Amino acid sequence: MASTAVLVLPPALGRNMPRLGEWISSFEMAVHLSYVVCCAAVFALIYDDYRKGKLRSPYLILLFSVALQQYGFYASSEWSWWMSLISAWK
């Protein structure tokens, strides 16, 4: 259940991050910070399970998928197949 909740956090956090301070200067920065918060939440869930002696695989899969999404935000501008797909929709 926590995995599902963490997946829907980035859009909500990204919209509300600019209200937290003047140092968040763009929507892109807010989106990246929201994913950092989500990764921190997943690390906290993994650490809690580690202390209890049982690591659950959904949290590890969630961490991998959130980190992969964040990497995709940075790298997608250099993917030629992605840029051609997006250009075709314009």
Q: Mean pLDDT per segment of 10 residues, for the chain of length 90 residues?
A: 77 78 79 87 91 88 89 84 84
| Contact present, 32 and 67 (Cβ < 8 Å) | no
Q: What is the pLDDT of residue 29?
A: 84
Structure tokens at 46: 């993994």
Q: Where are the domains of the chain?
A: 2-89
The pLDDT score that the predictor gives to residue 90 is 67
Q: Which amino acid is at 84?
A: S
Work out the number of other CB atoms within 10 angstroms of the CB of residue 62.
Answer: 22
Amino acid at 36: V
What is the reported pTM? Answer: 0.74
Looking at residue 43, what is its pLDDT?
92
In the structure encoding, which two tokens stand for residue 63, read together? Answer: 């961490």
